[in-house]
Amino acid sequence: MPSPGFVELGDRLAPITYRISGFDVEIRQHSLILRLARAMHAGWTSASPTTTTTMRAAMLQEFSDFSGGYGTRLFEAIGIGIDGETAQWAGSWNSTTHTYTVNMAETYTKIMAAMPIDTEATRAIANKAAQVFWLFFEAEVG
């Protein structure tokens, strides 16, 4: 199952909205969103029913210029969560079908479990990444 493409991913990721201290914050087509889309596109490999994504590696590659700390680990967590979900899906293949269906809520939970910090912003970014991944992941395609 191929990636929907960098442009489509970027269009679906934007905007990312959240609320801090009573103020609404919105991230539109910002370089952060474009880079997240590029990393998701690069890590979107599922050529066969037992092939998983490589999101963690793609996130680390795309955000390698970050000086470490929470920034790099935030995007690594997104990769870890998505890779964990597709690994569970690929592992459930029994030669005719998958017994596990990729789930948006589980993807988000896996991302947040790997997240180094829990803030409104990280929750919003993680939620949007999980939503967009789930929107385009066609499990029945294999």
Q: What is the 3 state secondary structure string of the chain? A: CCCCCHHHHHHHHCCEEEEECCEEEEECCCHHHHHHHHHHHHHCCCCCCCCCCCHHHHHHHHCCCCCCHHHHHHHHHHHHHHHHHHHHHHHCECCCCECCCCCHHHHHHHHHHHCCCCCHHHHHHHHHHHHHHHHHCCHHHC
pLDDT by residue, tens only, the chain of 142 residues:
678 899 999 999 999 999 999 999 998 878 999 999 999 999 987 666 667 788 999 999 999 998 777 888 999 999 999 999 888 888 887 777 777 777 899 999 999 999 999 999 999 999 999 999 999 887 655 4
